[in-house]
Amino acid sequence: MSQPRDGPRLLFEHSSTFMTDISAVEFRNVSYRLLDGRDILHDLNIDVRRGEILVLLGRSGSGKTTALKLVNRLLEASGGNLLIEGRDSREWDIIQLRRHIGYAIQDVGLFPHYTVARNIALVPSIEKWPAARSDSRVQELLQLVGLKEDIGPRYPHQLSGGQRQRVGVARALAADPPILLMDEPFGALDPLTRSDLQREFLSLQKQLGKTVLFVTHDLHEALLLGSRIALLEDGRLVSIGSPKEFLQSQNALVQKYVQAFGAADQVRGGM
Amino acid sequence: MNFWNFVVENKGEIAQLTFEHLWIVAISTALAIVIGIPLGILITRKPALHNPVLVTANIIQTIPSLALFGFLLPAPWIGERAGRLAILALTLYSLLPLIRNTYTGIRGVDRAVLEAARGMGLTDWQLLYKVELPLAASVVLAGIRTAVVISVGLATIAAAIGAGGLGELIFRGLAMVNNAVILAGAVPAALMALIADALLGFLERRFTPQRS
């Protein structure tokens, strides 16, 4: 429990990127196979650098969510190695690993029987932070994700979709984990709220310097948020590079993806 | 002899039998909770046990109560006292609603909530007592409510083997062909069932989680 780095941290402690030579998350020949023998991921190699937003882009069934869940070991890889901060994920204590990695998902998954404040303070409370420290952390986080402090005593069912998602992000950030996993966190929101949250998230990430793995099927979101975009198809990595490289790629699948979204843009533009 | 006169003249005995009745129901419900809830949790964790456990509880439920009292009579220690026998039988009958509702309640917890909780590093134990049990509480309470209402009724039959309770008045009234005596047992038993039902129903609503 009391390894020095797993203890309570200050908000900005991780923004200085120490040990820059070690990547935050590294997939080395990772594969994942279902019990019935179907392969979901083949020989995946991705190197997530500290402080970047790496977007895992792909259509449904491409394996992007599976790849994400291997990182916090909600799923266990069938082959290869996954290094978290240079250390094999299997060597980590699974509970410590998960508390070291923030997790936000599309359905948010707030506890319906907890107030907003208790939801956000979940990890601090199971890590036994003193109440005063946990309370001030909650206030700090509410402000950080653009919510008013008076929302703390309310329950999740009293919030709008956008507010719930902000609370979900605050909860993921509560114990100041250096790595964040986000699985289509803005996917269920209306376009205006989504665009607000995307912009705010981008500036939040610049401020905090977290390493983020972000799953989406939306190319616009990927181009807006990603430091780099990894395109997955049928459990294989098709291409990885900056948004600019992605748009200029000669790869047929990447071009198909870009065209599909470009066409969508034209339809919208023509209306 | 009319009902009210009988009640007034025998209020001491009726109170005594009501208390016995309540005691049998309370102890058997408490035992069923202590056994049934862990079994319900167990079968959410070990799917292979789900069918064997529920089928067994189901079969017990189908045994006619008088026959069950008879089957249990030769059991050592239990069979020595009618009260013990009645408590065991009622416990067995109460198991099914408790096991089934605990299972259903836990399985009904929103998958996103569970995924988020596990992803944030809750241990299995924390997941159970911070998330699954509180969110299943209203469904478990509904199971307790069913069990109590069934038990209050069944406990009247326990008088047939000499376990006491309000069933004594009912059987006595039947033997005497005296409706007033039957009612003196039946009315308090019915009131007990109604009050327990209302109280547990109130608790059940209080523990129902708000859905967004």
Residue A268 lies in a domain: yes
CB-count exposure of residue B125 (10 Å: 0-12, 13-18, 19+) = exposed
Find the domain containing A271 and state its range.
Answer: 238-271
Best of B109, B113, B114, B120 to mutate (most A CBs within 10 Å, chain A): B120
**Helix-then-strand count for chain B, H and E:** 10, 0
Residue A143 lies in a domain: no
Angstrom distance (rounded) from CA A104 to CA A113: 19
Residue A248 lies in a domain: yes
Would you tell me which residues 121-140 of chain A have a C-beta closer than 8 angstroms to some C-beta of chain B? 122-123, 126
Instruction: List, for residues A158-203, the tens digit of each pLDDT value.
Output: 999 999 999 999 999 999 999 999 999 998 899 999 999 999 999 9
Angstrom distance (rounded) from CA A48 to CA A25: 5
CB-count exposure of residue A43 (10 Å: 0-12, 13-18, 19+) = middle
* pTM more than 0.90: no
A155 has a chain B CB within 8 A of its CB: yes
Main-chain phi, psi angles of B93, to 5 degrees: -65, -30
Residue A223 lies in a domain: no
Residue A251 lies in a domain: yes
Contact between A24 and A50 (Cβ < 8 Å): yes
Task: Calculate Rg over the CA atoms of chain B.
Answer: 20
For B111-120, what is the mean pLDDT?
A: 96
Residue A64 lies in a domain: no
Left, alpha or beta for B73 (phi > 0: left; psi -120 to 50: alpha)? alpha
Q: How many CA atoms lie within 13 A of A178 on its CB side?
A: 22
Would you tell me which residues 175-204 of chain A have a C-beta closer than 8 angstroms to some C-beta of chain B? 181
pLDDT score recorded for residue A14: 47
Residue A153 lies in a domain: no
Residue B96, pLDDT > 80, answer yes
Cβ contact, residue pair B120, A157, below 8 Å: no
Residue A8, pLDDT > 60, answer no
pLDDT score recorded for residue A263: 55
pLDDT score recorded for residue B1: 62
Domain count, chain A: 1
Residue A243 lies in a domain: yes
Which residues 6+ apart lie within 8 Å of B178 measured at CB? B1
Complex ipTM value: 0.84
